[in-house]
Structure 1
Amino acid sequence: MLQNTTDLPELESQLNLTGEGVTLDELLNITTLDSVTTPVPDHACDNREYEIVSGIAAAVCITFGILYTFFGYRFFKAIMFLTGFLFCAVTVYMILSELNVLPLEGVLGCAAGAGVLVGLVAMLIQYIGLFLTGFCLGLSAAAIILVVVEQFTHPYNMWIPIVVYLILGIATGLLGLRFQKAVIILSTSVIGGALALAGIDYFVGLLSMTFYLWDRVIARPSEQVCWFSWLILGLWPVVALAGAIVQWKFTGHEIDHRIVLRREQSSNVQTSRAREKRETQQTRYRHLYQARRVKGDVISQTFLQSIESKLSPAMQSLTALNTEPSNEEESTATRHSLT
């Protein structure tokens, strides 16, 4: 549409409308056609506005991703906690964000609480942590497969990608229980690479590739991402392979989490046995220096000896005490001490 009357001379000069009558409708049609045919530059790949909190979170993801990728197997228990935390927190966050039933603070609180709970369970119960670690490896493989399939055809049924994720996740989770060290190293390398590249994806494309992968999970059509987002996705297997090699050859070499766990269990058993032995010795020591005169009357041996020393020799022979307690006295004293 025309903004002011100064646009009329420009239109007349462009269309050579000198001396001819031009109506207002014709002028409006001309300006509308000009606005439609003029190419509008696409700056979607260059338009980025960052937030401080999101930037800090992305930097933390990059840091933990590097530790995950190259030192995952070395910090076994910490990785079990982080794997359970990330798996549950990300899943809960994405689901609640899609449902849009809570504000952002509520979504973050629910995701963090559920993540901490599952992380503690994965850390304390070894087999659950191993299964979750292998399950995440299957999820990563399913994501790559669905991205490749999306380039040829789009699955319009949401259950198709969900079934693919579940099948691959359960299969790799069971493999993680059988081949523990190999699957842990490979899984931590893949998860760490994804975590680090997700942080980089925020600074490069505002998580465009991350949301593209989430659209593959729920079978939702999505716009094509920029070329550098595809570059980030292509770096994922490269980073994962490099992390697996570094862990297998250097950081995780000659380390077996099963031996460490057995050593900790045996140490706990030895500590418990030493405590029981010490308590038994203390009980015996206490009963050894007690003398029972009548039932229910326990008198200190030193007190009786002090009285005996004050008696005459004739009286000492009559009141000589047996310093060694009998078996019946020991058993009776033990029962009384326990009660």
Structure 2
Amino acid sequence: MIVPVIVAVTSSLLHLTRAFGCNETNPHGVDKAASKAETVVRDISNLLSANRSQNATCDVTQNTYDPSLCVAFAIFILLGIIFAFVGYRFFRLILFLTAFIGAFCIVFYFAYGHLPCDWPHPALIALGLGATAGLILGTFAACYLYLGIFLCGFALGAVAALSFLAYVHIKYVEEHSWLPIVIIIGLGIIGGIIALLIQRPLLIIATSVIGSYLMIMGLDYYVENGQAFAYSWELVSGHPHFPSCAATWVMLIAVPVIALVAIVIQWKCTAKGKDHKKVIKKSRKKEYIEMDSAGNNALLSDMD
């Protein structure tokens, strides 16, 4: 669910910016942006529907590319590189992005799917709601670091659940479409709890795995028009079928391979000498100083 929604939202933002531009004399900017946003969401739905077909073509020479989606998936690759190879070094930023993306996607997905049909510009409304939720949760995760660590571990558990569902096709899962969501949430909670217990190793692993997943999902669009991308959606929806193209399996296998490489690079290079607990201690010290300062000011005011 996360990957399709992020791509749709990113593309919508691009169209929104383009529609407004720098031309203040354009009274129809919002209408054009809304129309473009709706078009992008439909394009994503068509992309997923086309790739769900078991008869999907494996001939990469027949690939077609949309400029907006190309930019969106390029952003995916960039975010994946940051998460995978320098995620632990930029600890607080990664916590913010993890929480922001998660809240953004979930709220956008449910808002867009459940807004009344007669409301104008549902894509833009859902986009605004998702962005607001993402900013709120992202800010909380960056300020309350244990919440951010839990969410990062939760994301790792969710990716692990997708991997489990990808390589283990169980008939019971296919007959009960709610079960993949339960598995994702269950493993996500377990991952969040473990992240709180063993923080540094789990954060390095989590950022590496999440980054490799984002990177491959972005690259997959350019390689085979999003076959692995669509397969991820099928896993969440509970109606997957084994991919028929070899390139799809190459993409899926590349996720753990790149994750292992990223873990080694972070452990040996980019995360070496970096300790997130110093950030937590510094944050706590700042809170204590502010509390003491507030207490002293209140005492002085009572004396006056």
TM more than 0.5? yes
One-letter code of the match for 1:144?
A: S
Paired residue for 2:84, among 66, 69, 73? Answer: 69
Q: CA separation in 2, counterparts of 1:63 and 1:106?
A: 27
**What SS class does the counterpart of residue 128 from structure 2 fall into?**
helix
Paired residue for 1:139, among 127, 149, 158? Answer: 158
The 1:43–1:78 alpha-carbon spacing in structure 2 relative to 1, beyond 3 Å, is closer
Paired residue for 2:205, among 161, 183, 186? Answer: 186
**What SS class does the counterpart of residue 49 from structure 1 fall into?**
coil
The 1:54–1:271 alpha-carbon spacing in structure 2 relative to 1, beyond 3 Å, is same
Q: CA separation in 2, counterparts of 1:174 and 1:120?
A: 21
| Matched residue, 1:89 | 104
| Matched residue, 1:235 | 254
Q: CA separation in 2, counterparts of 1:138 and 1:277?
A: 45
**What SS class does the counterpart of residue 224 from structure 1 fall into?**
coil
One-letter code of the match for 2:274?
A: I
Does the 8 Å CA contact 1:208/1:225 hold for their aligned counterparts? no
Paired residue for 1:260, among 279, 282, 286? Answer: 279
Specify which structure has the bigger relative contact order, considering alpha-carbon pairs within 8 angstroms and separated by 6 or more residues: 2
Give the share of equivalent positions with the same residue, in percent. Answer: 32
What 5-or-longer segments of structure 1 have no aligned partner? Answer: 1-40, 284-333
| Matched residue, 2:226 | 207
Q: Where in structure 2 are the equivalents of 1:42-61 lying within 5 Å?
A: 45-61=60-76
1:216 aligns with 2:235: yes
Does the 8 Å CA contact 2:154/2:190 hold for their aligned counterparts? yes
- In terms of fraction of residues, the more helix-rich structure is 2
Q: CA separation in 1, counterparts of 2:123 and 2:184?
A: 27
Paired residue for 2:184, among 165, 171, 187? Answer: 165
Paired residue for 2:134, among 115, 126, 129? Answer: 115
Task: Write the deviation string for residues 127-153 of structure 1: whole angstroms up to 9, x where unpaired.
Answer: 211111001111111111111122888
Q: CA separation in 1, counterparts of 2:259 and 2:202?
A: 13
- Greater Rg by CA: 1
**What SS class does the counterpart of residue 174 from structure 2 fall into?**
coil
Shift of 1:253: 1.3
Task: Write the deviation string for residues 191-240 of structure 1: whole angstroms up to 9, x where unpaired.
Answer: 11111111111212222212211111121245735321221111000111
Shift of 1:169: 1.0
One-letter code of the match for 1:224?
A: P
The 1:157–1:45 alpha-carbon spacing in structure 2 relative to 1, beyond 3 Å, is farther
Does the 8 Å CA contact 1:209/1:225 hold for their aligned counterparts? no
Q: Where in structure 2 are the equivalents of 1:308-323 lying within 5 Å?
A: none
TM-score, structure 1 normalization: 0.63
Count of aligned pairs between the two proteins: 246
RMSD of aligned Cα (Å): 3.3
